[in-house]
Structure formats: structure tokens, C-alpha cells
Structure 1
Amino acid sequence: MSILIYFLWLLLLFFVTITFTKKFQTSKINLPPGPQKLPIIGNLHNLDGLLHICLQKLSKTYGPVMKLQFGFVPIVIISSNKAAEEVLKTHDLDCCSRPETIATKKISYNFKDIGFAPYGEEWRALRKLAVIELFSLKKLNSFRYIREEENDLLVKKLSEASQKQSPVNLKKALFTLVASIICRLAFGQNLHESEFIDEDGMEELASRSEKLQAKFAFSNFFPGGWIIDRITGQSKSLEGLFSELDAFFNQVLDDHLKPGRSVLESPDVVDVMIDMMNKQGGEGSFKLTTDHIKGIISLYHYHIL
């Protein structure tokens, strides 16, 4: 049954592609050069091996500004300093929003974070919140002792391992350092003593999140691609990952909302956002919600990667 659905889906895509091709054949838009594309898949057949190396090879043939098409999604590849300056400076407002993908939309609570939110009023409000309240110089200096303590702890562990001449998993040690700093300054939780944050579990969750977002999803490039993602299990994997992340973020929020919880002299990032959410009035169209808080927490989670 699933094979029949797959075949019918491809057949539908074929007819849709033919229609779109005929519609845009007469277009006079001056598009950048690029390799010949195939029906339905576009230039996906040109991607062989590591993506950045493949794009570099193609740019040597088609120039620093090159157009590809992944499925039904047109993509412009920039690979020179001059072209990058044109995009990032001259046409910044037209190009500053990140591409919307199924994974980033789900995990960022429908783009409620700063990293993936499209440019607009909500993004500007979140950026103002980040600059003034979360990442200000005063705030960063107030957490200096956390960075120093965790770095001292790492140096102590490495020194002890050196004296014993025992091997050290440097990747795991550096992950623990970054995760410990972020958990303390963002979540108010000591990774080594927390009741609900497991170091190995967090590392495994971060690794799965990174791999899933890098994985190819038909929904991002084909209309109706969610059918294939359902068949391949991609949708189920994303839902499972989001469920685990959401449970973790809810635990962080619940811990901060406990009655009688004492806020430290330097409140963590979640404390600051909860306080702002409780104090916001009726003025202004932007309202900070728990989804915004969890979206911003997810941004810290990505820093652990």
C-alpha cells in the first residue's frame, strides 16, 4: 500500500512539474547561471559527497553567484567576498531571514526564538530583549564567576588525569564544560548536581537534534513531501525529539515557578524572562509567552552543540 502511495505521489509531482515548467519557460527574469536541472528533483542529482565541497566545485564552473534548485525550492549560492557583502550589507533586509524548515519550525515553537524567527516586529522585540536583558555586558560580567569555576574544574580534572597518565575523552570534556556553563547561567541548574538534567542524556539529545536537523526532509523541498517523510519515519523521529525537548524545557520552567523558590543575586536567563512576562502590561503588540521562553531556551540548547 505504501509503495502505491509513493508511486501516485511521484506521478502527481511529475504533472505539477510539467505545469510549472511551461508556466515559467517564458519568464524574462535574469537569473544567475547554474547547472541544468532535472524534472521534479531539480539539482539534487548534482550534490555528491560533502555539501560545502560540492558547492565549491560547482562555483568554479558557474561563478560566485550561482542558482540551484533543490526539488521545488530555488536557492542562490554566494561564494565570494564581494557577493557576500552585497547580500549581507546592501540587501540585508531582503536576505536576513533564515530559510524555514520543518525541523526548525517545530523545535523553535513556530519560530519563537531569536535564531530562526523571520525579520519583523517580533524578531526586533526579541533582539531588543536579548541585547538589553539577556546578553548585555553587565549581565555577562555577572556570570563571570560561573565561567571561571567551570574552567577551573576542567583544568583540575585534566591535571589529575595527567598525573595518573590516564586517557581523556577531550570531546566529552569540552561538551561537559560548555553544557555546565550554559545550564548554570541560563537554567540555574548545576549539571553535576541537578535532579532532572542528566549529562549523558543531554549529550545524546543534543547529538540527535543536530543530526535530525541536518537530515534531508522531503517536506522542505517538495509539495506534499510530508507523505514521504511519514513513510521514511522522518516525521516520527522529529515528533519524538520535540516531545523530549519540550518535556525538558517544561521541567526547567516548572523548576523556576516553584512556590518559595529563592532567586539568586544574579538571576539566570529564565528568571529574567519569567519576570518580564509577569510584569508586561497591555501596551504594545508583542507579548512574551511561555513559547517564546522555551524557544529562547532551545537557542541555548543549540549552543551546547
Structure 2
Amino acid sequence: MAFSFDLLFFSVCSVVFPLALLKWFYAASKPQKKLPPSPPKLPIIGNIHQLGLLPHRSLQSLSRKYGPLMLLHFGSKPVLVASSADAASQIMKTHDLVFSNRPKSSVKDRLFYGSKDVVFTPYGDYWRQAKSICVLHLLSNKRVQSYQHVREEETSLMIQKISQMCSSSPVNLTEIFVTLTNDIICRVALGRKYSEEEKGRKIMENLRVFVELMGVFDVGDYIPWLSWVNRFNGLDLKVEKFVKLIDEFLEGVIEEHINKRKGEAESDHSVEARCLDFVDILIEVNKERTIGFAFGRDDMKAIILVN
């Protein structure tokens, strides 16, 4: 039995050792790239353990030691950290094409209909077209100014609400400002606010979940062979449930706008006579088909979510 074990051990070593040696020689023969300073990393997790509970402060502390441009490793993913205005300018302006692509994220991919938004979609023709829609149609200076009355109306309502509440009890300003922000965004993007309805409050709660999921730590993004963990910690189920809820909501909003536009056409009321929200504008873009690529429902939903 001992002989058999020794023979097996020798056989394994005779295969593994030459392969390891070949890999070392191959790595040594390649020209070494000049990389930014980097703190020591651990196997498998890299520098993740150095982030702590307050990543922004941990990164600031590391940058003081390793400089304004440093290389970290989050699992198997190299991450370049710029912590000065000059370094950020080099990345965003001088070498923008080199850094223009987006890291792949399984959670964001599911949240944004296969990354069909303008933030997480890979750099390429679709990204350029989606960016063009946002810059020229949704967020142009003229369009932003057209929503000034929405901002003024909602701010005025907020001040009235605070005045009424101050006379009776302490006021939770955090909750009020969150509601103000959501009401303005909903009126601009979706055409009406939802905070005053029971159904709308559930929608606002779903949007809070959406924000949480945007910042969730997905171990599979950094250590791919551990992606199965999400099936056991509940993340996959949570994302699946949320995507279904938000998709049903957005589908209803789009159908509501389409029916409203049909009613206006039948009654000879021009759509342009009222202030268009984002959904109206995206329906127009979809209808005109002049942007150079197929722009469908999922594309509309993804861009609505990211804006």
C-alpha cells in the first residue's frame, strides 16, 4: 500500500513540477511591464482585506503610502486607483480610450437588462448611441431647463410640509429630502410622482432596494469560482425578485404613456403641447428609428433606470 502511495506521489510530482517550471520560465522570459506601486496582496482575495468598513478612508490611507496612482487587486481583478486631480485627468482625458471600457458585473448585468444602459454597457457602438440619446435628448441644457417648474413646485410643496409639521413635532428632514428627490425624479422621468399612493410607496421601497443592489458586494465579480455563493446567501434570489417587480412596473409605465399618446392623437391634442418626460422622449426615439440601431423596450427600461 505504501509503495502504491509513493508511486502515485512521484507520478503527480513528475507532471506538476515540469508544468510549474515551464510556467515560471515563460513568465520570466516575458518583458516585465512597469506597473504602479502596489501594496502586498494575499492569495485569492488580493487586497480586499485592506478596504475595511470605510473603503474611501482605507484607500486614502493607502494612497498616502503608495502614491496618487496605485494598483490594487480585488480578487483576480486588477484595480487602478487614482487619488489626485492630475491622475484622474490623465485617465479621464488624456488616456480616456484606454480606460473607456466598463468592468463586467453579474448583478448590474441583470438589473439593467443585459447592461443596456449607458453606464455599465461595454464601450462600443451601442454605448456611443445610448450616450448620444442621453446627452442630446434627455439631459441637454434646454431639456433640463424645461423641468425647472417641476423643481420649483416640489420644493415649494416641501417647504409647506415642513412649515405644517414644525408646529406640532420634530421633523425628519432626511426622509423629507429623500421624498423630494424621488418626487422630482419620478415627475421628470416617469411623468408623475408616486409617493402619495400606497402602490407608489411600495415602488419607492423597490427603488431603495435598487440602490442597495447597485452597491452590493458580489464575490463572483472578483473571485469567479466563488460565484456559486450567491445562490446560498440569497443575493441571486433577491436580484431575481427585484428585477421581476421593477420590470412589471416599468412595463406598466410605458404602456400608460403609449395609451395616453394615442388618446391625445385622437383628441387632436399635440403631445408637444405638454412638457415631455423621459418615457415620452424615449418612445419618440423608438418611433423615429433614426439613431442607427434597434432601440427596443428593454433598452428604454435600462436607460430610464440609470437616469
TM-score, L = length of structure 2? 0.82
1:166 paired to 2:169: yes
State the partner residue of 2:181: 178
State the partner residue of 2:274: 265
> How do 1:155-304 and structure 2 match up within 5 A?
155-162=159-166, 164-192=167-195, 197-199=199-201, 201-258=202-259, 260-262=262-264, 263=271, 265-280=274-289, 285-300=292-307
What's the RMSD between the two structures over aligned residues?
2.5
State the partner residue of 1:38: 42
Q: What is the Cα deviation at residue 140 of structure 1?
A: 2.3
Q: How many Å separate the matches in 2 of 1:198 and 1:140?
A: 25
| C-alpha contact (below 8 Å) 2:195/2:204 kept by paired residues | no
Unaligned runs of 5+ in 1: 1-14, 301-305
Aligned counterpart in structure 1 of residue 141 of structure 2, from 137, 140, 163: 137
State the partner residue of 1:5: none
Residues 145-201 of structure 1: per-residue CA shift (max 9 Å, x gap): 211111111111111122x2422111111111111112112111232566x8513x2
Regions of 4+ moved over 3 Å: 21-27, 259-264
Aligned counterpart in structure 2 of residue 114 of structure 1, from 99, 103, 118: 118
| C-alpha contact (below 8 Å) 1:226/1:235 kept by paired residues | no
User: Secondary structure in 2 aligned to 1:66?
Assistant: strand
| C-alpha contact (below 8 Å) 2:102/2:122 kept by paired residues | yes
Q: How many Å separate the matches in 2 of 1:190 and 1:212?
A: 23
Structure with greater Cα Rg:
2
Residues 100-126 of structure 1: per-residue CA shift (max 9 Å, x gap): 212211111122112222332212212
| C-alpha contact (below 8 Å) 1:161/1:167 kept by paired residues | yes
Q: How many Å separate the matches in 2 of 1:197 and 1:52?
A: 37
Q: What is the Cα deviation at residue 127 of structure 1?
A: 1.9
Aligned residues between the structures: 279
Unaligned runs of 5+ in 2: 1-15, 265-270
**Match for 1:278: what amino acid?**
K
Aligned counterpart in structure 2 of residue 67 of structure 1, from 66, 71, 95: 71
Q: How many Å separate the matches in 2 of 1:131 and 1:87?
A: 21
Greater relative CO, 1 or 2 (CA 8 Å, sep 6+) = 1
**Match for 1:150: what amino acid?**
E
Residues 205-262 of structure 1: per-residue CA shift (max 9 Å, x gap): 2222222232221210122332121122221122122222212211211211226443
User: Secondary structure in 1 aligned to 2:43?
Assistant: coil
Identity %: 34
